[in-house]
Structure 1
Amino acid sequence: MRKETAADLVAFLVVAREQSFTRAAAQLGVSQSALSQTMRGLEARLGVRLLARTTRRVSATEAGERLLRAVGPRFAEVDAELEAVMALRDKPAGTIRLTASENAAASVLLPALEGFLPKYPDIKVEIITDVGLTDIVAERFDAGVRFGEMVASGMISVRIAPDARMAVVGAPSYFTERKPPITPQDLTEHDCINLRLPTHGGLYSWEFEKSGRELNVRVEGQLVFGTAGLILDAARAGLGLAYLTEEQVSGDLKSGRLVRVLGDWCAPFSGYHLYYPSRRQPTQAFALLVEALRYRGSANLSRNARRPREN
């Protein structure tokens, strides 16, 4: 295979996955016009059209999809082998791509990286925050971070945080004219701040458990957000009740900025875990990061604990 064909195939894979010449050009570090010319040249040499272009998006044709399925995994294998070869250097090196929720990145990953990165200056870590259930294999992430019971079967899972609990909270000003809910069913009479899940586009239902009784409540309210940070800000402003982890609201509860309700209905669940495919051959850099993140305290996992979907 000619050198220029290999480079053009790499460019094609990025365009097909991003479904955008603009995003692909930025990722490849080339101009959009140059990338478009490269794709036209590749299509001319192969004698088939690989990409269908519209004003809004770019999608692979039938021939393009076939090429993507055939060539994509092979280039991924080459990348993995190159990473493995780099791991043989005297100093661990390489780029590690992780996907995690905003809260997991802020409360678990960043504190660990503060001590980790200065020790290994040749290791780079890229963290993409997302509350959805990202397919780490398809999106070419090295690993993901989610609550323990959300990790799919077939994945290697490493606990990186203790058990967690959810908390229903509201500002004192919110309760000046409203009675605090006593049971989850009472939430139907309150303004609740909803979370939109990107994976399926639905609203997240709040999950509760008490004395073995489990309840899922689909709450209503005037506000819907896609991030926990905005939900917390809205709750602080007295705009409704929020459903967040204890860790996210602990400071506000201590200061009295927020008030907790339904605490007896929020059971503990398995905390954050790092997960990655079992068939993955970890590089030295990745193995070092896993050990740096590994939780070494007591899990105290409740046997009947339920987990919420991502937050």
Structure 2
Amino acid sequence: MPVTAVTTDAEALTMTLVGDFPAPKERLWRAFTDPRQLERFWGPPGYPAAFTRFDFAVGESAHYVMTSPQGERFGGRWEFVDIDPQSAFEVTDAFADESGAPIEGMPVSRMTFTFEATPSGSRVTSVTRFDSAEALEQIVAMGAVEGSTLAFNQLDAVLQDLREYARGKGTRTEILDDQHVRITRLIDGPADAVWRAHTDPALVRRWLFGPDGWRMTDCEIDLRPGGAYRYGWAPEAGTEGEAFGFDGETLVVEPGRRWVTTEHMIGTDYPPTTNDLSLYDEDGATLLTLLIEYPDAATRDMVLATGMTDGMEAGYARLENEVLAG
């Protein structure tokens, strides 16, 4: 994993994160100073950041909002204190409201990002300094160590060309923790077309039916927050298996970019999952990321054991070859 160390020092009132990457220092610097690249990893999985302002100059500021899978919004504000081009920059970091104004009573810290070349690529060291032990403890209790680690570990996909990053890997499933699984697949087509293929029922029916021998019997989609959807499948004649389906509701929708839903297996009392679909477009290719939150590790393992990844790969291949190609 890219993050090699995360440490806290109660005496120095600091939290330090170190990450090593197989990319030149200049490339790593761009990832942290270009807001469109920064928002791809500034925020752990499920809490992507959107920068509404980024004036990279001493005395100026940056504002961002992270949106949870349930639609909760958490804002932040940076004030740029010092910039050493290609080598380091320092900011004050504060919790902020939707307008970017700091929230009174919440901790304010100072972060320094330092970039250096290494024999295998480059390293970023992030040191966050707090005003008090109470502020450090509060931030750690809010999950800063775990969240920062998960966030920085998303940088690999940012630093590489998408096609190079995904070449030959197909559909990949990563277990992030007991409840979260991340599925990624490079789709050979632009994000707007991939979005339509996921949200237009007529197109969905052409590819979302898993292995050969199955057909989609139901496809109803309401993209509005709170809107319901329903999918159903049945085996063709000669194929073993029983009909099944899923239903749920839309929690968050950012057209062309992100769609978060609940998912429940129809006819069962299984607890629902939360499915967070996001799309990132680069040079005509789209990185599809699906973050699934399960109620517990046992449910996660039961679902993965069904061969879900193979079924999804069959669908995505069909999406590329039969829907987008046409």
TM-score normalised per structure 1: 0.22
Larger radius of gyration: 1
Structure number with higher helix proportion: 1
Between the two structures, name the one with larger relative contact order (CA 8 Å, sep ≥ 6): 1
Structure number with higher strand proportion: 2
TM-score normalised per structure 2: 0.22
